[in-house]
Structure 1
């Protein structure tokens, strides 16, 4: 989900600069799902959901594909060539890979809340997919889409489609950002609560679990029941768009390690430091364990994008800044014409290997090292046509990179959330596609 970044205040605790081993990455495959890819709603969905994006402006808009998206003034105001509202639902915002794959080897992934906020997404349906990238053809096949619904009234608050029989969920209800597949069910971490959802394979919500840290329920500005006016840091501690962007499933224990996307707020309303809380949830008991840990962000990073284990204790975490676009095309300092450049190019896009079995006295998980997604070797020319810089290595310079998982002993799979129609990153004036990259990172995966 793309929102205006919240900068860390000068008064917040600052993590010390630290040197960390950077491992090499080589592009081993590149595939793409076109940005403008839509899915038809189920036949029993309310007619309101057959056109999405009607509420993304200041007033309702029923004129199909009449308003072109752009990346926002802070990012140069570049148009993206894709217009709202959509005739159907967008297959966009790939936001999390499940560690366990389907029987046919396809990947479980999900689309996030729709258009970025609770207010503008009441006609954006929520769903997860099974996707299969084909690196020989460079295409990604969507094998299945499953729509989330609450026919059994498990959601403890009023939903947008409360009065319907099917009770399909929308981006006004939840913002799903992370997913795991276990014993035929899905566990989904979402940002508005933040909550963990237990979901049947057919999309039915089985239970909803609010977040508990140190015995207290965590809430945010979009949590059901948060009343306005509300004082950040006192009435709620979770930043907007700061819930579960990553949620790893630990092999063996089947614990969910739910990591917040952004730092919690202190009582003064400012971020409490450059670290993120991680809480563990027992899937067998369907309850929080009471254990919590800290993940330290590196210099320049503001958030994380995904979190997946590669063995019993080691895991991969995507950390990122709020930049978008290749730094080779950065705007000159003070440039007033930003139509052909990136005013906030990507600077920090890392995949970090951590060890959850090693925790320091302050609760910080050990960082082993990382790869730099802005410096990927491509000696075999695996990048799709027109997507490799004229000079230098291949880059993955997207605003939100929200999917990572281990493929085998030497490879990982990475994908971006393209925030359709609000993100570019690959090419100025063009909406970002959903790109899947296969990376050879043998040294990273072997590191202890």
Structure 2
């Protein structure tokens, strides 16, 4: 090869590497301090005053959505790989944690997302918030309280699945709750079907529903129940500008509580193309909400995805201008067990390659532009030389090879907590043939948290 050409390629490679490091920030060391595990098949009974419909969950997860009341009749699968569990189940699954917030006493609030992966099959999955205490030394998760969400005052602007019931509990056919911010009088929750911002009181009763807007333009996903298909196929389709499952996966709160920052999981579409930053990176919107006025301020930032990144998983502020964000690809499992050809039961079809927690900066100087990525920790490469993990460490390295990792918050000045959404019973990233547990890890990352 021409040596001049070879040198040019080398310079190009160096330039590309430098650009990637500049836009993504630097990688910071991370060490596992502790791990706690909640078993995948943890369940809870529906409330005593709930309709009998909620006594079993997963009755409509057959491929054609035909009802089945036979427990375990629908085998859980991750692609072609069986996960060892089936649906329906007796009671409600305590699974799918999607958003976490540490409280001053060291406990956490989190929430279970909409149920079994879609609006169509989750009409018997009750929506819940959970108050957890984690015993890091014992590796145990104590569910101290569960708050079932409901709409007794008919606040939802559409008929809910249990519309005619007395208690009007909310289900995964109504909302896809994905992110949480506890406040003194209740909870703010980010939702994906609308997408909407929801406010609940301390008893889990819906108090307000806020439509998402970009100025005067409404943001809607194809699951928004207020969209109506035309009766005539020659007529225009109703407008939606967000993909399915692209709503508020992240919801952060300013330290003084006056602002919420809602981060979409997917990009806004404009004229059929995804929104991008000025330098051409696919971008997700961070929208600012005024909690006193109960309305969007019109201010926003753009979160640029890394090469290989497809979505975010959670979002929490550290101070007025910096925050933690989980970014991920759609892979699951270890690259060493990747399929060599077609997907099969004894290999991972799409191994995990990008699972990170970023520290970002968003302030007055970059309003309306891309947030600054200060740096990240790699969740596929967490040091564990002392073998503190209860599962997931090999050769002194702990990893989180899950398709969805949707919980991150600061615990103290040197530690963060990270947890997966296990999508029970459909995700198996830790093992080839077993549904993932709900894993919580305490990660020492002091240099990362202190970085500016």
In the alignment, what sits opposite 1:94? Answer: 97
In the alignment, what sits opposite 1:396? Answer: 400
Whether 1:374 aligns to 2:380 is yes
The alpha carbon displacement at 1:188 in A equals 0.2
In the alignment, what sits opposite 1:213? Answer: 214
Whether 1:40 aligns to 2:36 is no
In the alignment, what sits opposite 1:60? Answer: 67
In the alignment, what sits opposite 2:358? Answer: 352
In the alignment, what sits opposite 1:84? Answer: 87
The alpha carbon displacement at 1:253 in A equals 4.9
Deviations 1:275-319 (A, max 9, x none): 101101111111111111101111100000000011221100000
Structure 1 unaligned spans of 5+: 1-15
Distance 1:193 1:367 in 2: 28
In the alignment, what sits opposite 1:276? Answer: 284
Q: Contact 1:215 / 1:290 at 8 angstroms: preserved in 2?
A: no
Q: Contact 1:219 / 1:236 at 8 angstroms: preserved in 2?
A: yes
In the alignment, what sits opposite 2:392? Answer: 387
In structure 2, the residue corresponding to 1:219 is in which secondary structure? coil
Whether 1:298 aligns to 2:306 is yes
In structure 1, the residue corresponding to 2:274 is in which secondary structure? coil
The structure having more radius of gyration, on CA atoms, is 2
Aligned residues: 422
**Quick one: which of 264, 268, 271 aligns to 1:264?**
268
Moved more, 231-240 or 433-442: 231-240
In the alignment, what sits opposite 1:11? Answer: none
In structure 2, the residue corresponding to 1:192 is in which secondary structure? coil
Question: TM-score, normalised to structure 1's length?
Answer: 0.91
In the alignment, what sits opposite 1:7? Answer: none
Structure 1 residues 336 and 292, CA gap change in structure 2 (3 angstroms): closer
Question: TM-score, normalised to structure 2's length?
Answer: 0.90
Distance 2:125 2:451 in 1: 41
The alpha carbon displacement at 1:339 in A equals 2.1
Distance 1:234 1:45 in 2: 35
RMSD of aligned Cα (Å):
1.8
Distance 2:449 2:161 in 1: 43
In structure 1, the residue corresponding to 2:447 is in which secondary structure? helix
In structure 1, the residue corresponding to 2:356 is in which secondary structure? strand
In the alignment, what sits opposite 2:279? Answer: none
Structure 1 residues 405 and 421, CA gap change in structure 2 (3 angstroms): same
The alpha carbon displacement at 1:233 in A equals 10
Distance 1:362 1:186 in 2: 27
Distance 1:402 1:314 in 2: 19
Moved more, 335-344 or 411-420: 335-344
Structure 1 residues 17 and 262, CA gap change in structure 2 (3 angstroms): farther
Moved more, 281-290 or 437-446: 281-290
**Any residues of structure 2 matched to 1:16-415 within 5 Å, and which?**
18-19=20-21, 20-57=25-62, 58=64, 59-72=66-79, 77-99=80-102, 101=103, 104-228=105-229, 235-268=239-272, 270-273=273-276, 274-332=282-340, 335-336=341-342, 338-357=344-363, 359-360=365-366, 363-384=369-390, 386-389=391-394, 391=395, 393-415=397-419
Distance 2:362 2:343 in 1: 46
Distance 1:358 1:78 in 2: 48
Q: Contact 1:326 / 1:395 at 8 angstroms: preserved in 2?
A: no
In the alignment, what sits opposite 1:444? Answer: 448
The alpha carbon displacement at 1:216 in A equals 1.5
Which structure features the higher share of helix residues? 2
